[in-house]
Structure 1
């Protein structure tokens, strides 16, 4: 089987057939134990707002959507409420975590060697869905719960009070947002 793609296929994202050796190689990769020997018992979706790398627990995540500009809601000026967005025919309140957490949304820069795209994270908290704009999306990170570190004293105080800890993912230090603390702030932005 031919496993090479032409530049046109790569650009279009066209599927090509893969051979058994390729499948075996990836099966071995995912079968291998973690290097640290500890089980990854938790996961979170990691993203960047400004210069801050943060993560939300994966059970909150509904989906990732392309970034769209919110439509203003007249006479509603809740802290963090940017308006409403239409994603796939559904309307979601758009809440800016940068405003809620006191983060400079204009700070930070793209990581070298990566294309970055602003996205919307669609999340659920107590039967209500929200759209959260993020500057960059790292993806889902799995980690061992006992490896979570306490936040550094130098972290922005607005962010620090919503963190349950910090995890290391390669060269990144990612602040884990506590859903129980952040959820009521999301709901409060609609009042």
Structure 2
């Protein structure tokens, strides 16, 4: 029989092969079986093993890299879906936020003690917080915000300050540095889904000085989520 006779006179050819009367189909013919065996037992082409070795090595490296990247992907996914914990407060007409982890304490207004020859529009002086004198700053002046006069409201029947209508002083810890500043209103700790966070508009982010890291959509308000590291590193440069 000729080579690949199944394509010429066999089932895929003109079907003139006399063996079809016996075997019905070429795959049942010893010639077809012998050809298949020879195909499997033939010598491998030159560089065949080397090419497959390189290919399998690359595949193994890719799988290993994917496994190594899996924990990073899991962490990134968890960070994306994990809500942000932040404290929302008001300075004048602006609603701002800082990471809740930076806040140590929220207190009623304290007596301010000025510092001779050191007090200025940003460093206002010292306040006594639980027996410790801490620097008190004007975050509004540092950020260049417009101030709006806030008139105190009466105490409630228990003599406590209400949560949202009285100005407060907050104590924050930024990388070991403790600062105190006054706020006109505070909304407390909120957990904010990350899909409610927007990038800072280009017109803002390209400004010479911007302290906003993200924009948070909260109760139909646009809240500036401050970059605490940038804010307070700038503060240290301004007052030291």
2:197 pairs with 1:151: no
Q: 1:168 to 1:64 in 2, by over 3 A?
A: same
Task: Tell me the residue number matched to 1:52.
Answer: 94
Task: Tell me the residue number matched to 2:212.
Answer: 163
Q: TM-score, normalised by structure 2?
A: 0.55
2:131 pairs with 1:89: yes
Larger helix percent: 2
Q: Choose from 122, 126, 136 the match for 1:80.
A: 122
**Residue 101 of structure 2 aligns to a residue in which SS?**
helix
Q: Choose from 34, 42, 61 the match for 2:84.
A: 42
Q: Which runs of 4+ in 1 moved over 3 A?
A: 107-110, 151-155
Q: 1:85 to 1:118 in 2, by over 3 A?
A: same
Q: Which has the higher contact order (CA 8 A, sep 6+)?
A: 1
Structure 1: which 5+ runs fail to align? Answer: 1-37
Mark the structure with the bigger radius of gyration: 2
2:232 pairs with 1:179: no
Aligned partners of 2:148, 2:89: CA distance in 1, in Å?
A: 15
Mapping 1:133-144, distance limit 5 Å = 133-144=182-193
Q: 1:109 to 1:177 in 2, by over 3 A?
A: farther
Mapping 1:121-140, distance limit 5 Å = 121-140=170-189
How large is the RMSD of aligned CA atoms in angstroms? 2.9
Task: Tell me the residue number matched to 2:69.
Answer: none
Shift of 1:187: 2.2
Q: TM-score, normalised by structure 1?
A: 0.68
**Count of paired positions:** 150
Task: Tell me the residue number matched to 1:19.
Answer: none
Mapping 1:17-32, distance limit 5 Å = none
**Residue 114 of structure 2 aligns to a residue in which SS?**
coil
Aligned partners of 1:84, 1:67: CA distance in 2, in Å?
A: 12
